[in-house]
Amino acid sequence: METICFQKIEGGDGHNMGIDDAINYEDLRKLAKHRLPKIAFDFIEGGVEDEVGLDRNQQAFRDTPLVPRYMRNIDGVDKKTELFGHTYDGPFGVSPTGLIGLFRPGGDLMLAAAARNANIPFVMSGSANCTVEELGETAPEHGWFQLYAARDNTVSEDMIRRAEAVGLSTLVVTVDVPVHSNRERNTRNGFTRPLKMSLETRLDALSHPSWMMGYLRQGMPMIKNWLPYAKDGATADDVANLVTAQVTAPLTWDNIARYRDLWPRNLVIKGIMHVDDAVKAAEVGVDGIVVSNHGARQLDRSPASLEVLPGIVAAVGDRLTVMLDSGVQRGSDIVTALCLGAKFVFTGRATLYGLTAGGKPGAAKAIGILNNEVDLVMAQMGAANIAALGEEFIYKPLPRNY
């Protein structure tokens, strides 16, 4: 079992800050940045090309003011949310984030356990460093499985059967990776296939001893779910090369229909950004979609998820469950998405920063911060429960000639 190091860093006001002192997303981000070498932190932080999409995701939330309603009974704000027949203690869950083991060895299962303890869903990445079988043991009622479709259909279909065999409730098919994206931070850092790390990058890694100890113990983490499909005796690099070659599959609606036939439980498509695709998803018979631009890590000129959400909700909100991720940093972001029609919200970087900074306690800290912020925002707005949230809380400026 890994020893968790609760390191201190200099906070913005000059005091020493550890995981217990963190009060928001930015504090967790600073702690994670302090722990990680640049090559690893940039993998989490970065977008693609000019990274305008990162700013656009945030700006979309900033440009959507919430209007409070006062003189309402808000004693005991209730965040409980029913999703696919399960009642969760909050309206948000943990998005799939890959290569977690590079940032915190064993981190996938730490995040899964933190989500289970908080009674929220955790979506295990298709490039996780644990197996779907381990997820089934750790968080059988809260673990969802993300499928990156493989060029070899037998691989995808076997992964689906494995997720069903361990009793997971929800399969999330990510559709927004038709090609590998141009993540320029990774290229500059040498985080490519194969790795091309410079002397400067290696020296920077040595200056982060807490992270380096974990890396020296395990090396580059294995993408374990793919190991059964690699050659005998495959190394972590061999498996990573296999994943790189396989995950840019020519995914079509025929594949989704096939997955629908194979998967008897909740089927979700992640990465929907166009109304017509949302309508097609409803026609194919999926149970839900996640409106997502992949955290601005695929197409830099994509609109923000929040910008396209209302149109998608209007088109299919009565036919399937519409959820959202990308750009979610605050409880107010979660509430904003719910007011615009999302039934549930997912966040990736917030919980990943918490995990990186403090292991399982850090992941729990991140979830707790978001829970507290949602409570406060709902109370301030005059919304006693999730069902009360709606467009009445979204500020819409009157026409100038009103």
Question: Catalytic site residues?
Answer: 294
Which element (helix H / strand E) includes 187? Answer: helix 184-189
- Measured CA to CA, the distance from residue 59 to residue 306 in angstroms comes to 10
* Residue 13 burial (C-beta neighbours within 10 Å; 0-12, 13-18, 19+): exposed
- Measured CA to CA, the distance from residue 183 to residue 206 in angstroms comes to 24
- Measured CA to CA, the distance from residue 389 to residue 105 in angstroms comes to 39
The residues, any chain, with a CB within 8 Å of residue 387's CB and separated by 6 or more, are: none
Instruction: State both tokens at 252.
Output: 């079509």
Cis-peptide, bond into residue 194, ω within 30° of zero: yes
- Residue of 304, 289, 270, 239 whose CA lies nearest to 47: 304
- Integer CA distances (angstroms), 229 to 89, 146, 147, 180, in order: 37, 17, 15, 21
Positive or negative torsion for Cα 99, 103, 104, 110: negative
- Measured CA to CA, the distance from residue 341 to residue 361 in angstroms comes to 32
- Measured CA to CA, the distance from residue 96 to residue 138 in angstroms comes to 16
The residues, any chain, with a CB within 8 Å of residue 115's CB and separated by 6 or more, are: 93, 94, 121, 122, 139, 142, 363, 367
- Measured CA to CA, the distance from residue 124 to residue 131 in angstroms comes to 9
- Measured CA to CA, the distance from residue 173 to residue 159 in angstroms comes to 12
- Measured CA to CA, the distance from residue 361 to residue 363 in angstroms comes to 5
